[in-house]
Structure 1
Amino acid sequence: MLITTGSATFREKIIISCLAAFAAGAAWPAAAQTRDTINRLPNTIYLPDAAPAAPSADKNVVKSLSALPSATLDLKGTAPNPAAISAQVQSFVAQNAKELGLEGNAAKLVVKSTRETLTGRYVSMEQRLDDIPIIDSQVQLTVSDQGAVQSVARNVVDVPTASVASVKKTAEVSQKAAEDIVWKDLNASGEYLEPPTAEKAYLNENNVLTLVYVVKMAVSKPFGYWEYRVDANTGRIVSKKDRAIKEGKHKRDLPGSPDLSAAGVPADREAALAKFNQRMKSMMPVDKKTAKVATGKGLVFEPNPVSSLNDTGLEDNDPPSKFDKAYVEVALVGLSEAGGKLNLQGPLVRIDDFEPGDGGVSRPPSTSTGTWTARRGDNAFNDVMTYFYINSSITYLQKIGYTGTRDLFPNGIAVDTDGLNGADNSHFVPGSDRLAFGHGCVDDNEDTDVIFHELGHAIHDHINVDWGGGDSGAIGEGFGDYWAISQRKQIKNGFQVDPVKVFEWDGIDACWGGRRADRLNARYDPNRTYGAHQSMGSFESDELWSTPLVSSLLELTGAGETIESVDQVVLEGMSGIGSNFTMRTLALATVAKAKALFPGEPHAAVFEKHFKHHKIIP
């Protein structure tokens, strides 16, 4: 019998009470169940009109949004910040708790970040137990301005309430001790590149939640932006990696990283930190409050000398006169003027020196004349090239809609044009939001493809804050290559030589050969995982993703569609797919976003055609 009380039924009052508690951050009430084992649930992505698909190997499950009991979420008029939207989002999760595997789960979902997209709103929720995050566990969703949920990506750990007592929640190792463990394991003898951090988190190890410190420590020797996971109770090193995303040159015997940190090395970690803090104070960045916004001039390649001169025989050691006609004078906007000097410091790009480079410190130059006249061989030329093209690319993002509350770079980005200990490589550092470029053979900054490619890593990291795992390594590299080609297509002479070769100048045969985005023979295998720069025999893993994107770009623009519209599809596709995604799930999400952005237009069909050619979509 249904018991009623007043105007609402007893059941209705219980449901209302549960929803209110969940919106306040409480765990969803446990249903009658006997499960008591912690377990990671299969990664699942919900997309419109998606045919259900079981995972291959350890891959994602694809489901239709119609599988959700509730697929609407009205965020219209809500302020674009986590606190404002938390209650509505938690109610949506509660209504779908059983389907999402969150019923009876003691771990809570907390809204970590949100931003507006070209089609609505993106929300990332982090799974936490006792307010401590569980590594690699989140739910992401995108919702249209009309309240229709466009996608849900679930990547969570099932923590039954009966299992919570077995989880060790206090740390016996201090934060400082964890950092000391990392310093000792690195056998560090260099300087800090940024302040070290250590934060608590739970790591699912074979269905046991281990309390760990995630320690990030960037040092000049051994050079790297190291990330460790240290058991907070035993001091055991669980894992370690360099979190910087590198360009991946490997064809030739490239110059190594010279040891530039032998002189004046701090004796221990405390001394290294003190020296770092002293260096930061001495650098004296431009005071934004007193500096004036100014415009200057400088010389750049447009986009690189191979393309602009139409000369595939150029070599790095050719005489300077051979490059004379490749230089173009451009306006440098958004500069900072202080003390009568212009600096390459703007709201979108800040040229800085935070890594050891080719020969040591290389401070960005300033000018009192308003003009940079440096040419290749002088790192001031690299500074101008990097500032101009990154500033142009971020400005382009704003032009195609990523501005205001959609802005991907509201704080700009810091760049070191002479870093990586002088090695012939470049990288983006997630979390630190830094780009750095190396030298060796052709300086990386002399080729716009390298500049745009590295910025591409920052773009996908800003679009999806949980980027990582699955096929994200190859996808990130492939997207960076696509972004380089898409941006170069808009530059005079950018498609004059070999439009689909990536790194036309930096990747000449005498250096490392570069990559391509026309590997039409590449085929996707759903039973394997694609990391960055993996050799697949006749193609690289990165090229398997860049090729269908570039093929779609060329077909659509050839049919009269704009580059801007194609870029919008590629960018929006990466929003809301969570972590541990595959090429297949991202391809399906990209086609879905093409339909949402350009209904009735050819974009979705063209992307789908090229993804199917490579068997990425079956």
Structure 2
Amino acid sequence: MKLRNKTLAGGIASVLMLGIATNAAALSPQSQAERQSVRDALTRGVDTPSLFDAVDGQYRPDGLPAALFAPDFNARPASPKAMALEYLAARGESLGLDAQAVANLAVTSERLTGNIGVVRVRQQAQGLPVYGSDIVVSTASDGRVIFVANDVVTGLADVDTTPKLDADRALVVVAGYLGGAPLRHGKTALMLHVANGKTHLVWRAEAMSSAVGVGGWDVLVDAHDGTVLRAQSTTYNVDGTGTVFKPDPLSSARVAYATTGYPDNNNADSAQLTAQLSSVTLREITLSAGQHSLNGPKAVCWQWEPPTDAACPVQASSDFSVTRSALTFDAVNVYYHVDTFMRYINTTLGVAVTPRQYTGGVRFDAHGENGDDNSHFDSGTGELVFGEGGVDDAQDADVIIHELGHGIHDWLTNGGLSQTQGLSEGVGDYLAQAYSRDFPNQWTPSDAAYNWVFSYDGHNPFWGGRVTNWHTNHSYPSNLGSPSPHIPGQYWASCNIVARDAIGGAMMDKAFLVGLSMTTGSANQKTAAQAVINAAATQGANVAGIAAAYNTSCTYAVTVPVSDLIFKNGFEL
């Protein structure tokens, strides 16, 4: 360990000679506000796109489309990839691509859900990928292009493609930039990046600092001079804690947090809380050498952040039934809720979603964050982490599904998760509320808590929680609340809950997820709303109900697809 620290320190000294300042404050922030302040200070070169609405889509200041809502193109019916490439060959110039740029495009992912194909391509130049250049073409099985999202990068120039810094050196730069603590995860790739009108050869690093509170980052390091050109946090947080009943003890009992027997009381058992426990089946856990563990095809208990404890149970018995005060309770409940929701999406809805960072079930650490009152998903590692401050975060299904929601957003878009206008926070809140609402015998529309997200973890002395009726006193785009992503995200969640109430849970959830898969990393709420309603129309969902939610209850002013775009044999579940 001493040798490792000494080596790293020497590297940081060299980094400082390159003009890269470290941030010692990043090493041990405690509160959510402090964490956000650290992340704000470290964020560099991240631009919020200015888009202009038009009848047919959204456009950038340079006149190129960022999204086309009704592309008016029919390819020859074939595979999604073939149809997308046909479209790009024919219409590439209108997206900002010349013939050579079209020929150099690389397909990065292809997904087919029902009759909708979503193909993602990325620009390449000089044999290297161009950072942030995703173009997503979504097609129907009859050849219609139903939606195009375009993050084309213009102004590319030739550069020297021989790096002066190697990948290991780039990671030393990143570690220094993030505060000097060792990296727990670091993955690099050589790319081209255009910044301030100049093309750079860069190392893109997906990195996770071992310092609690710094989290994961997407960092671009100039491969010639070591300058950090861009840094963006990839850790998505929820402020709070919770319990993992079905969905939580307050909702199933329909009582307030302050009711006798229900406060957290330092994770102690009570007769009231124990009465709210439900016996569930933990599906497809692992039995190896006579020992059972929470390792399944959809969820995996996996410890890496402090505190180091025995929260992931390994035992001879297949019965993991304990009360909430037991050390292993949090892991059991996270396993159940993650497993249940991943099965719902993949099997019931038929939307294929698995982690892109590794093979197997979703990895989670039920006791992480150094015990703080925070939780997060990190897109660099694809992992979920839950803290223990206040009410244990791993004990509230809303927290669990919110963080999993960030992962689903990341995986559906092949790493193209957007936080513009708090989009991904709203994704997490919507999915958490949708999941929670589907449990029987709990809050009714006449209860104030019916619209609460984080029903046990928040709305208590620890923190205020969030809501899904935010649309009733806010509007899009100018009155979303604080620019912090968690606040405007409530609007996106609320509008989709209104649509879900109108057309039904499974139908809206599928439209929501398929539409989300059609977006890029710069998508705002309106872009995503248009993608969702286009996906719904193509798969035969109740477009009128979604349109009323988006354009009447909310103010997205989406273009409502006309009836002849709706498939006759559509939205099957």
Q: Cα distance, 1:101 vs. partner?
A: 1.9
* AA aligned opposite 1:145: S
Q: Any conservation in 2 of the 1:226–1:240 contact (CA below 8 Å)?
A: yes
Q: Determine whether 1:233 maps to 2:181.
A: no
Please give the secondary structure, in 2, of the residue aligned with 1:128: strand
Counterpart in the other structure of 1:51: 56
Q: Determine whether 1:517 maps to 2:473.
A: no
Q: Radius of gyration: which is bigger?
A: 1
1:493 corresponds, among 441, 449, 452, to 441
Counterpart in the other structure of 1:148: 144
Question: CA 1:300 to 1:331, structure 2 compared with 1: closer, same or farther past 3 Å?
Answer: farther
Question: CA 1:58 to 1:517, structure 2 compared with 1: closer, same or farther past 3 Å?
Answer: farther
Q: Any conservation in 2 of the 1:56–1:527 contact (CA below 8 Å)?
A: no
Q: Name the TM-score, length of structure 2 as normaliser.
A: 0.79
Counterpart in the other structure of 1:503: 454
Counterpart in the other structure of 1:564: 506
Q: Determine whether 1:129 maps to 2:132.
A: no
Q: Cα distance, 1:71 vs. partner?
A: 3.2
Residue-by-residue CA offset, 1:380-415 (whole Å, 9 max, x unaligned)? 100110001110111111233436xx3445732111
2:377 corresponds, among 418, 423, 428, to 428
List aligned pairs for 1:359-508, cutoff 5 A.
360-402=308-350, 406-408=352-354, 411-469=360-418, 471=420, 474-496=422-444, 498-508=449-459
* AA aligned opposite 2:190: K
Q: Cα distance, 1:321 vs. partner?
A: 2.6
Q: Determine whether 1:205 maps to 2:195.
A: yes
* AA aligned opposite 1:346: G
Counterpart in the other structure of 1:338: 288
Counterpart in the other structure of 2:557: 617
Coordinate RMSD, CA, aligned: 3.1
* AA aligned opposite 2:524: T
Q: Any conservation in 1 of the 2:70–2:147 contact (CA below 8 Å)?
A: yes
Counterpart in the other structure of 1:608: 547
1:181 corresponds, among 167, 170, 173, to 173
Q: Name the TM-score, length of structure 1 as normaliser.
A: 0.73
* AA aligned opposite 1:364: C
* AA aligned opposite 2:245: F
**Cα distance between partner residues in 1 of 2:274 and 2:71:** 61
Q: Determine whether 1:92 maps to 2:104.
A: no
Q: Any conservation in 2 of the 1:193–1:219 contact (CA below 8 Å)?
A: yes
Counterpart in the other structure of 1:36: none
Q: Any conservation in 1 of the 2:132–2:153 contact (CA below 8 Å)?
A: no
* AA aligned opposite 1:416: D
Q: Any conservation in 2 of the 1:59–1:582 contact (CA below 8 Å)?
A: no
Please give the secondary structure, in 2, of the residue aligned with 1:418: coil
* AA aligned opposite 1:120: I
Q: Any conservation in 2 of the 1:523–1:614 contact (CA below 8 Å)?
A: yes
Counterpart in the other structure of 1:102: 97
**Cα distance between partner residues in 2 of 1:342 and 1:91:** 51
* AA aligned opposite 2:407: A
Please give the secondary structure, in 1, of the residue aligned with 2:284: strand
Counterpart in the other structure of 1:75: 78
Counterpart in the other structure of 1:24: none
* AA aligned opposite 1:139: I
Aligned sequence identity (%):
24
**Cα distance between partner residues in 2 of 1:309 and 1:527:** 35
Question: CA 1:52 to 1:485, structure 2 compared with 1: closer, same or farther past 3 Å?
Answer: closer
Please give the secondary structure, in 1, of the residue aligned with 2:189: strand
Q: Cα distance, 1:459 vs. partner?
A: 1.2
* AA aligned opposite 1:545: W
Q: Cα distance, 1:499 vs. partner?
A: 2.0
Q: Cα distance, 1:211 vs. partner?
A: 1.0
* AA aligned opposite 2:497: V
**Cα distance between partner residues in 2 of 1:401 and 1:424:** 33
**Cα distance between partner residues in 2 of 1:241 and 1:100:** 26
* AA aligned opposite 1:544: Y
Question: CA 1:532 to 1:571, structure 2 compared with 1: closer, same or farther past 3 Å?
Answer: farther
Counterpart in the other structure of 2:567: none
Please give the secondary structure, in 1, of the residue aligned with 2:548: helix
Residue-by-residue CA offset, 1:510-536 (whole Å, 9 max, x unaligned)? 1101100012111112699986535xx
Q: Cα distance, 1:202 vs. partner?
A: 1.5
**Cα distance between partner residues in 1 of 2:282 and 2:459:** 28
Counterpart in the other structure of 2:7: none
Question: CA 1:609 to 1:57, structure 2 compared with 1: closer, same or farther past 3 Å?
Answer: farther
* AA aligned opposite 2:77: D
**Cα distance between partner residues in 1 of 2:196 and 2:339:** 45
Question: CA 1:122 to 1:474, structure 2 compared with 1: closer, same or farther past 3 Å?
Answer: same
**Cα distance between partner residues in 2 of 1:397 and 1:135:** 30
Counterpart in the other structure of 1:327: 277
Please give the secondary structure, in 2, of the residue aligned with 1:176: helix
Counterpart in the other structure of 1:13: none
Q: Any conservation in 1 of the 2:67–2:147 contact (CA below 8 Å)?
A: no
Counterpart in the other structure of 1:15: none
Counterpart in the other structure of 1:268: none
Residue-by-residue CA offset, 1:435-455 (whole Å, 9 max, x unaligned)? 111110000111111111111
Please give the secondary structure, in 1, of the residue aligned with 2:543: helix
List aligned pairs for 1:290-309, cutoff 5 A.
301-309=245-253
Q: Any conservation in 2 of the 1:143–1:149 contact (CA below 8 Å)?
A: yes
Q: Any conservation in 2 of the 1:352–1:416 contact (CA below 8 Å)?
A: yes
Counterpart in the other structure of 1:120: 116
* AA aligned opposite 1:508: H
Q: Determine whether 1:597 maps to 2:539.
A: yes
Counterpart in the other structure of 2:27: none
Please give the secondary structure, in 1, of the residue aligned with 2:280: strand
Q: Cα distance, 1:301 vs. partner?
A: 1.6
Q: Cα distance, 1:121 vs. partner?
A: 1.3
Q: Cα distance, 1:56 vs. partner?
A: 8.1
Q: Cα distance, 1:508 vs. partner?
A: 3.1
Question: CA 1:338 to 1:63, structure 2 compared with 1: closer, same or farther past 3 Å?
Answer: closer
Q: Cα distance, 1:468 vs. partner?
A: 3.8
Q: Cα distance, 1:216 vs. partner?
A: 2.9
Q: Cα distance, 1:51 vs. partner?
A: 3.4
Residue-by-residue CA offset, 1:326-375 (whole Å, 9 max, x unaligned)? 11111111010012121100011111102113xx3445112212211322
Please give the secondary structure, in 1, of the residue aligned with 2:401: helix
Residue-by-residue CA offset, 1:106-130 (whole Å, 9 max, x unaligned)? 5721101111123321110011112
